């Protein structure tokens, strides 16, 4: 039985949000995003592809060019994945971007021995710490010999000092970029686990998807793959 509203004379079950011509922002489809969330995600991945492509074409650093040539194709594939009529297309696109712009370039650069000078600085500081108890040279003669990092960064160079460079397993597991990336992801995961306010409701992107997009973004991944300095 409907009970009249004391002031309006309308039943309490009447919902003004359902008036004809009124746009609904509380349903599963509407979130106030013109074109839907997929369009925005696709635009983001295309922008990332343009960033990576510009790095491949115009960067003066070899590791950046190598990363950009691989990551550009990955970001384009992520945008194409959003066209597929699947419910979890956004998650699939993020997985493609993570694999193609993060994991693959990192291992390709490690296997090719490519990296910025930061990699040599971190690994040399680990060797100095192990041998002499300090990560700093007593009298650096050039910019490459100068260590601008705090002493804690030398810990990421200890695997290289302990394993050496004999054989590809040692080169892979001893590369400081691998350990910088592992610590960065661990810190990011721990921070997300301590978030008390949920980041998702309804059809909005959840915390795992947003975290994957952040990790796969060019702002972080180029630095991680080429220099390993996202932990600075």
Determine which helix (DSSP H) or strand (DSSP E) holds 126, and give its type and residue range: helix 117-132
Q: What is the pLDDT of residues 4-44, one digit of tens each?
A: 555 555 555 545 555 454 444 343 443 433 346 778 888 99
Strand segments (E) across the chain: none
pLDDT at 29: 43
Q: What is the pLDDT of residues 184-232, one digit of tens each?
A: 888 888 877 776 455 444 445 566 778 888 888 887 766 666 665 554 4
Q: What is the mean pLDDT of residues 127-140?
A: 93
pLDDT at 31: 41
Nearest to 78 by CA among 91, 69, 65, 67: 91
Q: Judge whether residue 159 has pLDDT over 80.
A: yes
Nearest to 222 by CA among 64, 42, 36: 64
Q: Is 47 helix (H, G, I), strand (E, B) or coil?
A: helix
Who contacts 183 (Cβ-Cβ below 8 Å, separation ≥6)?
Answer: 156, 231
Domain ranges of the chain: 36-192+205-226
Q: And the tokens for 8? A: 């309006």
Backbone angles phi, psi at 99, to 5 degrees: -70, -40
């Amino acid at each position: 039985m409907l009970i009249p509203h004391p002031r309006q004379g309308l039943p309490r079950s009447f919902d003004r949000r359902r008036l004809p011509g009124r746009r609904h922002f509380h349903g599963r489809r509407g979130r106030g995003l013109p074109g839907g969330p997929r369009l925005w995600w696709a635009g983001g991945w295309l922008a990332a592809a343009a960033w990576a492509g510009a790095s491949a074409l115009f960067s003066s650093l070899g590791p950046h060019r190598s990363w950009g040539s691989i990551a550009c194709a990955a970001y384009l594939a992520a945008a194409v994945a959003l066209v597929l009529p699947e419910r979890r297309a956004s998650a699939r696109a993020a997985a493609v971007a993570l694999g193609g712009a993060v994991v693959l370039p990192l291992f390709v650069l490690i296997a090719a021995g490519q990296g910025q000078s930061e990699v040599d600085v971190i690994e040399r500081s680990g060797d100095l710490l192990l041998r002499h108890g300090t990560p700093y040279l007593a009298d650096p003669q050039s910019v490459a010999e100068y260590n601008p990092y705090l002493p804690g960064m030398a810990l990421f160079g200890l695997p290289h000092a302990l394993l050496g460079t004999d054989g590809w397993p040692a080169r892979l597991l001893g590369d400081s970029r691998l350990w910088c990336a592992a610590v960065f992801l661990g810190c990011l995961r721990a921070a997300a686990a301590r978030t008390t306010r949920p980041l998702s409701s309804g059809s909005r992107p959840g915390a795992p998807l947003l975290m994957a997009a952040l990790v796969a973004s060019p702002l972080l991944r180029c630095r991680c793959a080429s220099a390993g300095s996202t932990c600075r």
